[in-house]
Amino acid sequence: MPACILVVEDEPAIQELLALNITQAGHNAIRALSVEQAQMLMRETLPDLILLDWMLPGMSGIEFARKLKSDEFTKSIPIIILTARGEEIDKVRGLEVGADDYVTKPFSPRELNARIKAVLRRSAPQMTDDPIEFGGLRLDPGAHRVSGNGATLDLGPTEFRLLHYFMSNPERVHSRSQVLDRVWGDGVYVEDRTVDVHIRRLRKALTATGHEDLIQTVRGAGYRFSAQ
Ligand code: CA
């Protein structure tokens, strides 16, 4: 499942390079040249991760990070600070305001992607391609494969994403609109009913190995993925 990554970088060429890296790693990039622009974008969509340049015109990256981490709404969004300066003192300041990691420019695409992956693994495991196991099901995002008690299951692409989301977030109730946001993405217009259609298909596919009861309907609230 792709993550939405907000890039805040005032240097157009570096911004372009960052966005390219993010896209090649299979995620979606949204871009801002300043904190002000970033705040505007965040009124529309809360990103899953922010790559934040330290030196920006107007409010600095470090001030913005401090602000985001002290706000109830945004404090759980992981932040990776970008800086051209590699001094230890800067690193300490960045981590003090709550940044999750640090990348020094010039960065290698491989290092950047490894750090993005590590941060997402901690905050949003469904956005990495690590295999997940739950209740006898095993889902391997990298290989795009699902098995139940060792037998391969045949799922459509939407059912695969849906199962990936549920397996990453078990034992809690998800409303249809939450499922739509996370599985179909913001800004896609789909009716709530569509969720039910794909849940039915997913359940049907899971009957092959007797795992259909993992998806529970919670009346008036949505769905829960649970082994109980
Ligand atoms: Ca800059």
Per-residue pLDDT tens for 111-152? 999 999 888 877 776 677 788 999 999 999 888 899 999 899
Tell me, in angstroms, the distance from the centre of ligand 1 to residue 46's CA: 22
81-98 residue pLDDT tens = 998 766 666 666 767 778
Residue with tokens 């949505």: 222
Q: What is the CATH number of the domain that holds 73?
A: 3.40.50.2300
Same domain flag for 116 and 204: no
Tell me, in angstroms, the distance from the centre of ligand 1 to residue 17's CA: 14
Tell me, in angstroms, the distance from the centre of ligand 1 to residue 84's CA: 8
Last residue of a domain, one of 127, 161, 191: 127
Top pLDDT among 187 and 112 is at 112
Same domain flag for 152 and 220: yes
Amino acid symbol at 116: I
Dihedral sign of CA atoms 60, 66, 69, 73 in order: negative
CA diameter of the chain:
58
Same domain flag for 31 and 102: yes
Range from 4-8, 50-54, 78-82, 91-95 carrying the lowest mean pLDDT: 91-95
Long-range contacts of 24-29 (CB under 8 A, 24+ apart): 24/109, 25/113, 25/116, 25/117, 26/2, 27/2, 27/3, 27/116, 27/127, 28/2, 28/3, 28/4, 29/5
Kindly provide the b/e burial profile for residues 160-177, where b requires at least 16 CB atoms within 10 angstroms of the residue's own CB: bbbbbbbbbbeeeebebe
**The total number of structural domains that make up the chain:** 2
Last residue of a domain, one of 97, 127, 157: 127
Tell me, in angstroms, the distance from the centre of ligand 1 to residue 54's CA: 6
Same domain flag for 155 and 70: no
Range from 61-70, 91-100, 132-141, 206-215 carrying the lowest mean pLDDT: 91-100
Last residue of a domain, one of 103, 127, 151: 127
What's the pLDDT score for residue 130? 81
Tell me, in angstroms, the distance from the centre of ligand 1 to residue 33's CA: 9
Same domain flag for 66 and 162: no
Tell me which residue range forms the domain holding 164.
132-225
What's the pLDDT score for residue 139? 94
Tell me how crowded residue 145 is: count the other CB atoms within 10 A of its CB. 14
Q: Give the global pTM.
A: 0.62
Tell me how crowded residue 40 is: count the other CB atoms within 10 A of its CB. 11
Q: Which of 86, 12, 96, 103 is nearest to 50 (CA)?
A: 103
What's the pLDDT score for residue 162? 93
- Of all residues in the chain, the percent with pLDDT exceeding 70 is 93
CB within 8 Å of 200: residues ≥ 6 apart: none
Residues recorded for the chain: 228
